[in-house]
Amino acid sequence: MGSTKFGGVLFVAYLNDHLPRHMHGFTGGIEVIVDLLLDGNAALAERADAVRPPNAKRSDVKKILSAAASHFDELVELWEKNHDNA
């Protein structure tokens, strides 16, 4: 597992995780799965469990997405380091 923290958000890349490349962002008791897209953007993952709990505050979700966008390159580097440059 690799992890880093930006702006109060903990980002985790799990070693045995799957493609597409993504990070798990944690803040305020919630988890948001953020896809790191090939076009250089960070986006909320298109999956039913992308936000946990499902009734999380929108402001917390936006905080995680914003931090991921601001630190996109660092997060991609962390993902690749933990997934053999996948």
Length of the chain: 86
Q: Model confidence over 4-57: pLDDT tens digits?
A: 999 999 999 998 888 999 999 999 899 999 999 999 999 999 999 999 999 999
Residue 86 confidence (pLDDT) above 60: no
Domain spans in the chain, listed from the N-terminal domain onward: 2-82
Q: Model confidence over 59-80: pLDDT tens digits?
A: 999 999 999 999 999 999 999 9
- Cα–Cα distance, 48 to 40 (Å, whole number): 23
Q: What is the pLDDT of residue 33?
A: 98
Q: Tell me which residue of 9, 22, 8, 5 sits closest to 82, measured CA to CA.
A: 22
- Cα–Cα distance, 1 to 37 (Å, whole number): 20
- Greatest Cα pair distance, the chain, in angstroms, is 35
Q: Tell me which residue of 30, 33, 22 sits closest to 60, measured CA to CA.
A: 30
